[in-house]
Amino acid sequence: MTGVTIMTETEFQDLLDRYGADPDRWPAALVDRADRAMMVDPGLACLLAAEQALMQVLAEPVPAAGAALRRAVLDIPLDHPRGTKAPSAWVLLMAGWRQWMAGTATATAAALVGVVLGYGQMVPLPLADTVMVSATDDVTTLLSLTVDGDLSDLEVSE
Amino acid sequence: MMQVTDEMLVAQVATGDRRAYATLVDRHLDRTIAIARRVMRSEAEAEDVAQDAFLRLWRHADRFDAGSARFSTWFYRITTNLCLDRTRRPTMTTLEDAGDPADDAPDPERALTDQRTRAAVSAAIADLPDRLRAAVALTYQAGLSNADAAASLSISVKALESLLVRARRSLRERLAGWMTGGGLGE
């Protein structure tokens, strides 16, 4: 005997868990021990065969979905149209409140701007000045015309 | 041309885009039904789960958060949860249904051997506890990475690996018993 201990079933199971069912992938140091163990205990060889069959079946390509199932799944959007939910009373109330608040805020802001500009006289009042200037011009013209007219009348009469 | 990702598509589905939905169906239906077939115990139940999963996708696409998970993780988690929610009944399928394993035989009988082995594996998987079965389905049937499969089951990768080891040991031992004709020890 070489003194190499026989692999126990637990060790053999660990080997399969860790390295799989292909002995070519097992560490070389463990292959001999595993081979001996399988010769001593045929049940271990059967475990290996079972693992190989299991992995072979699990690796087989997955059958595709049937045409009827595919059709049914594709038709889900038609069978279950996703309509828009009717808004609740609360949502409607909040929407109205938001609109009212937006309008109020705009009006308040406009009024505030008007007050600031008005009190601060930051904006000239062109209409009033124009009226006053034109009125002054009219009076001056009238007076000058009147004075000139009177003098010429006097000269003629003399 | 840039590949449209699942995450982009699900965002479009959230706006009611049926073409985006159809693309996601093309990409994921086969894997979804594969998971459902493996976890459920009948084809009809598996198809119900698949339809339910896609109905939820159509209705609740807006709940998907691209920042927290990939679409496949999110969607297969929905599928797995639907399966596990429905599997609360005792199993009706047993390994005995697979019949006896065939002896080494000439090629004409090889197909029968393979068919019986396949049936035995399916029956053994069907007898696994629900979460072990789901782990096997996500990893081997759906082909998800361990990280994605773990996320789909809402567990850590380490916990998933533990489930897979337990599942494989259980399957291996039952199949080995079936192969030696020594019965189907529970």
- Give the model's pLDDT for residue B114: 76
Residue B141 contacts A, CB cutoff 8 Å = yes
Contacts of B32 in chain A (CB under 8 A): 65
Residue of B170, B175, B178, B180 for testing the chain A interface, max A β-carbons within 10 Å: B175
If contacts are CB pairs under 8 Å, which of residues 5-44 in chain B contact chain A? 16, 18, 21-22, 25, 29-34
ipTM of this model? Answer: 0.77
- Give the model's pLDDT for residue B16: 93
- Give the model's pLDDT for residue A109: 82
Given an 8 Å threshold on Cβ–Cβ distance, is B21 in contact with A82? no
Between chain A and chain B, the number of residue pairs with CB atoms below 8 A apart is: 91
Which pTM value belongs to this model? 0.64
By CA distance, what is A74's nearest residue in B? B22
Q: Is the CB of residue A144 less than 8 Å from the CB of residue A152?
A: no
Given an 8 Å threshold on Cβ–Cβ distance, is A76 in contact with B173? no
Distance from the B118 Cα atom to the nearest Cα atom in chain A, whole angstroms: 6
Q: Is the dihedral of CA A104, A107, A109, A112 positive or negative?
A: negative
Over chain B (186 residues), what is each successive 10-residue block's mean pLDDT?
Answer: 87 94 96 90 90 96 89 92 77 51 58 80 88 92 89 94 95 89 52
Q: Is the CB of residue B169 less than 8 Å from the CB of residue B128?
A: no
Of residues B31, B55, B180, nearest to A62 (C-beta):
B31
Residue A63 contacts B, CB cutoff 8 Å = yes
In this structure, the number of other CB atoms found within 10 A of the CB of residue B35 comes to 29
Residue A14 contacts B, CB cutoff 8 Å = no
Distance from the A100 Cα atom to the nearest Cα atom in chain B, whole angstroms: 30
Buried b vs exposed e over A3-33: b needs ≥16 C-beta within 10 Å? eeeebeeeebbebbbeeebeeeebeeebeeb
Which amino acid makes up residue A140? T
- Give the model's pLDDT for residue B126: 84
Residue by residue, pLDDT tens for chain A (158 residues) are 456 678 999 999 999 999 999 999 999 989 999 999 999 999 999 999 999 999 988 888 878 899 999 999 999 999 988 765 555 566 556 656 666 777 777 888 888 877 777 777 766 666 555 555 555 555 555 555 554 545 455 444 44
In this structure, the number of other CB atoms found within 10 A of the CB of residue B101 comes to 15
Given an 8 Å threshold on Cβ–Cβ distance, is B55 in contact with A80? yes
- Give the model's pLDDT for residue A31: 92
Can you give chain B as a three-state secondary structure string?
A: CCCCCHHHHHHHHCCCCHHHHHHHHHHHHHHHHHHHHHHCCCHHHHHHHHHHHHHHHHHHHHHCCCCCCCHHHHHHHHHHHHHHHHCCCCCCCCHHHHCCCCCCCCHHHHHHHHHHHHHHHHHHHHCCCHHHHHHHHHHHHCCCCHHHHHHHCCCCHHHHHHHHHHHHHHHHHHHHHHHCCCCCCC
Contacts of A46 in chain B (CB under 8 A): 176, 179-180
Rounded Cα–Cα distance for residues B152 and B146 (Å) = 10
- Give the model's pLDDT for residue B1: 58
- Give the model's pLDDT for residue A158: 43
Rounded Cα–Cα distance for residues A124 and A129 (Å) = 9
Contacts of A11 in chain B (CB under 8 A): none
CA dihedral A47, B40, B153, B185 (to 10 degrees): -30
